[in-house]
Amino acid sequence: MNNYLILSHKPWNISLADKMKAHFSNDNWFFIDNKNDFNSEKLQQINPDYIFIPHWSYIIKEEIYENYNCIVFHMTDLPFGRGGSPLQNLIAKKIKETKISAIKVVKKIDGGPIYLKEKLNLFGTAEEIFLRANDVICNMIVKIINQNMTPVAQTGEPVIFKRRTPEMSKINKEIKDVNTLYDHIRMLDADGYPKAYIETDFFKFEFTRASLKSNETIISDVRIVKK
């Protein structure tokens, strides 16, 4: 019997843990979503054979990745797109399809050797894409475990993505066409992300659930917040 851990602070990854329990019912599966619980003491109790990391925004300590097999799933075709906010950066660049790279965690951010890559299309809202990615990551984990894969060093010139800030969610004057506005709204439409917004002196208007129509019109939900 093996012990496996899924590490994520996003709610949609809870279903991934349930799917893995169904695939490997004879093994023990654990799920951690709080950074305070992700420490050496807790890991000694679990003693995981692998730590699978579909979504984590915090630095992983060297004492952890040096002592455990930590595999992060990054939503770009590495070494293209190392760095933060990969989904938002991809959509902003008008990229329609990407690859999820499963990589070994090392000191260099997103610079570890690669176990495998799988395709992922980028249509729909951010949350829809993350849910779709769950299924892809599930299949990747199954392959990594069943095939006992060995990672291979990355090749090619890295392209670095910068992590987005909440202020970048504002709909500014640089957004001049309907398609770009639609992409801007949908790429931020997931739990925990600062929504696309405009503001006045007294109100903030947050946009979600955007739908792009054929006549260059967007229909969207709007949440109005008093500042």
Task: Flag whether pLDDT at 23 surpasses 90.
Answer: no
Q: 156 with 171, same domain?
A: no
Q: What CATH number does residue 100 fall under? A: 3.40.50.170
**pLDDT tens across 134-162, in order?**
999 999 999 999 999 999 999 999 999 99
Residues 170 and 154 in one domain: no
What is the pLDDT, as a whole number, of residue 57? 86
Q: Are 8 and 54 in contact (CB under 8 A)?
A: yes
Residue 214: per-residue pLDDT: 85
CA angle 152, 153, 154 (to 5 degrees): 120
Residue 18 pLDDT exceeds 90: no
Span 29-46, pLDDT tens digits? 999 999 999 999 999 999
Q: Are 31 and 69 contained in the same domain?
A: yes
DSSP H stretches of helix in the chain: 14-23, 40-46, 62-65, 86-92, 126-147, 178-186
On whether both 86 and 144 belong to a single domain, the answer is yes
Instruction: Choose between 107 and 15: higher pLDDT.
Output: 107
Tally of domains in the chain: 2
Residues spanned by the domain of 111: 3-161
Mean pLDDT of 100-111: 96
Query: CA 134 to CA 104: how far, in whole Å?
Result: 19
- Is pLDDT of 73 > 90? yes
DSSP 102-114: EEE--SSTT-SPE
pTM here is: 0.92
Listed in order, strand segments (DSSP E) in 9-79 are 28-32, 50-55, 70-74
Q: Which of 128, 161, 194 is the last residue of a domain?
A: 161
